[in-house]
Every structure is written in C-alpha cells, then in structure tokens.
C-alpha cells in the first residue's frame, strides 16, 4: 500500500497535465489529446505557460530526432509517464517504434480507464490492445502501459521483458521530474541497470537544479509545504553534476542545459509566435525560474542515432 508521500508525488502527474492542457488550449503547444486527461482545466500564468512550452518543445525535440534518425526499430521507455500523451502524439510517425510507459498502478489505472472511455483516444489504439493486471495495464505490439514502482526497478524489468522489450535495440529513456523525487540510491540503480544491460541507449531528463541559492531554497520550501521532497536534488544539484553522473559511469556523452538557455535558443519566428499568444512582463521571474530547471541528454556509445542528436538548437 502506498504511503501518503507516494500519493502526494502521484498528484504531481495531475499538476503537469493541467499545465500542459493550459498551454495547449492557448496555442503554446500542439497537443490535442491532453484535454481528455484533465477534469478541471485551469488557465496558468503566462510564465508557467512559457515554461511548459519549453519543457514540451525540448522533450519533443529529442524524441523526434530519435525516431526520425533511427534506421532500425527503436524503443522509448518513459519512466513515471503520468498522463503524458506521447503514444497519441506519435501516431503520425511512420518509422517503427515501441513505447513502454511505467508508473504507479494508481496512475496507470486512471490512465487506462480514461483511454478506454474516450472514443477519440480508444480509436487510436492498436487492434491487438488488451487490458491487463486488473485494469492497471495496457499491452499491445507497439504500446505497453506498465504498472510498477521505480524504486523497485528490479521488479519492473521482468515486466518490460515480458512485453517484448529488447536490450539490443536503440532505446531512449525519458524522465520528466521523476528521478528527482527518488532517493539517489534508487535513481542510480536505474541508470546503472541501463549502463550494464543496454547496448545502445540514451536518456533525456528534465529535473530541478540549484537548491543552494535563495530561489532554490524557496522552491524547496514551497514543495515541502505540499509534502513533496526532491530527494535527488542535493546529490545532483548543478548542470555539471547532472551530466557527470552519466560520464562517471562511462557513458560516451552527456550535455545539460537549463531551461532559460533553452528558451533563449528558440528560433526568432517561434519567439514571435509565442509573444502574440499572451502578454508576459515577468521576464526576470521567468528567467530565474527557468534557470532552476534543466534538460540532460546523455547516451552510452558513439553510435547513430544518438551521436547526431542534440537538445540544443541545431
């Protein structure tokens, strides 16, 4: 049975979905599916919508590069997927890919139920899709929604294998504000497993950084008032340390960039488009907030498609 702290962490999945729905409804991002996962839409503040746009754009940038540049069937594993709509967003991709999503059973049960009761989502499922494990999982040849506790990754791995996960195929792992909530011994176990078992793998994380300055301390305290603890933040507090954790394990490359830098690198035409959606004058506050979030993209070996991919504007 999950502890009260687990329930609170699971609630961050809904928070992220509400923010994405706000950004999608206003036209910041193109996600026509997220609205089905949000029962009570809220309009977020402009600086939150901007941050959601950059978060979405960065994740999608690497995912699209990975799929479009893979010359063979590839796999994506989303760690703590929450209500992410990636499977539905990928429907227009013609390349061969498989998606595995992992989260607490309470989250996967809600997601599976939403998908099946929503015709616009259910119609996009493969014909071989089946509901499993008491309604907490969905399984098909191209998409598997798996229930599991990432703190017990050794118990998650057999579930992945049972659904056809192949350690020899190019695989991209995703973590959006997930590993940061785990004790470092648990998140390190996941990374060590990837290091020891995957032939060609990459990972893209999006996590909080910089806990020691005034804003970082305020961020931590605000989360604590909600019962949330960023257990991995002090172990990997900077851009350098978030990339070094992979390099220390022998990964070929690891690059970290904060959200402020990423946002500034957006093309001029995209910046202009965003400016027309709604007025924002909290630029100093946005930059300060964005400096405390970072993408880290790392890969194990100097092989395609990973060695041609970049989180930076190319």
pLDDT digits (tens, 9 = 90+) for 29-84: 999 999 999 999 999 999 999 999 999 999 999 999 999 999 888 999 999 999 99
Phi, psi of 281 (to 5 degrees): -115, 0
Whether the model clears a pTM of 0.95, i.e. scores above it, the answer is yes
Rounded distance, CA 98 to CA 93, Å? 11
Report the C-alpha gap between 278 and 129 in whole angstroms: 41
Please give the pLDDT value at position 94: 67
pLDDT at 96: 74
State the Cα angle at 159 between 154 and 161, rounded to 5°. Answer: 95
Question: Residue 8: what pLDDT?
Answer: 86
Q: What is the 3-state secondary structure (H, E, C) of the chain?
A: CCCHHHHHHHHHHHHHHHHHHHHHHHCCCCCCCHHHHCCCCCCCCHHHHHHHHHHHHHHHHHHHHHHHHCCCCEEEEEECCCCCCHHHHHHHCCCCEEEEEEECHHHHHHHHHHHHHCHHHHCCCCCCCEEEHHHCEEECCCEEEEECCHHHHHHHHHHHHHCCCCCCCCEEEEEECCHHHCCHHHHHHHHHHHHHHCCCEEEEEEEECCCCCHHHHHHHHHHHHCCCCCCCCCCCCCHHHHHHHHHCCCCCEEEEEEHHHHHHCCCHHHHHHHHHHCCCCCHHHHHHHHCCEEEEEEECCCCCCHHHCCCCCC
pLDDT at position 110, please? 97
- pLDDT of res. 71: 86
Q: How many CB atoms lie within 10 A of CB 12?
A: 17
pLDDT at 312: 83
Are 126 and 143 spatial neighbours (Cβ–Cβ below 8 Å)? yes
Per-residue pLDDT at 2: 57
Q: Which residues does the chain have with pLDDT short of 50?
A: 1, 314
pLDDT of residue 5: 81
The pLDDT value given to residue 11: 85
Contact 173, 146 (CB under 8 A): no
Burial 88-112 (b: 16+ CB within 10 A, else e): bbbeeeeeebbbbbbbbbebbbbbb
Q: Which residues, in sequence order, are bridge partners of residue 258?
A: 294
pLDDT at 313: 61
pLDDT at 183: 98
Q: Is 301 exposed, middle or buried (0-12, 13-18, 19+ CB in 10 A)?
A: middle
User: Quick one: pLDDT at residue 18?
Assistant: 97
Q: What is the pLDDT of residue 314?
A: 47
């Amino acid at each position: 049975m999950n502890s009260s702290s687990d329930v609170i962490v699971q609630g961050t999945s809904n928070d992220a979905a509400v923010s994405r729905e706000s950004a999608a409804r206003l036209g910041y991002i193109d996600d026509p599916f997220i609205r089905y996962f949000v029962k009570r839409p809220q309009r977020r503040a402009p600086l939150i919508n901007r941050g959601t746009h950059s978060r979405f754009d960065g994740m999608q940038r690497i995912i699209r590069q990975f799929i479009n540049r893979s010359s063979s069937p590839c796999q994506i594993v989303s760690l703590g997927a929450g209500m992410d709509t990636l499977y539905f967003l990928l429907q227009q991709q013609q390349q061969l890919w498989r998606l595995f999503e992992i989260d607490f059973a309470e989250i996967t049960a809600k997601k599976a139920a939403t998908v099946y009761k929503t015709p616009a989502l259910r119609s996009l499922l493969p014909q071989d899709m089946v509901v499993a494990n008491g309604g907490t999982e969905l399984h098909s040849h191209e998409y598997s929604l798996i229930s599991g506790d990432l703190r017990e990754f050794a118990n998650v791995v057999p579930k992945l294998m049972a659904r056809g996960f192949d350690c020899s195929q190019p695989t991209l792992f995703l973590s959006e504000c997930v590993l940061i909530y785990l004790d470092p011994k648990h998140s390190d176990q996941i990374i060590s497993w990837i290091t020891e078992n995957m032939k060609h793998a990459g990972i893209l994380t999006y996590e909080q950084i910089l806990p020691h300055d005034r804003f970082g301390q305020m961020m931590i305290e605000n989360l604590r008032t909600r019962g949330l603890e960023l257990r991995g933040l002090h172990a990997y507090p900077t851009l350098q340390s978030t990339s070094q954790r992979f390099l220390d394990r022998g990964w070929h490359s690891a690059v970290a960039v904060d959200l402020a830098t990423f946002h500034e690198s957006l093309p001029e035409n995209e910046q202009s488009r965003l400016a027309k959606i709604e007025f924002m004058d909290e630029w100093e506050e946005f930059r300060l907030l964005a400096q405390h979030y970072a993408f880290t993209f790392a890969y194990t070996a100097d092989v395609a498609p990973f060695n041609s991919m970049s989180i930076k504007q190319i």
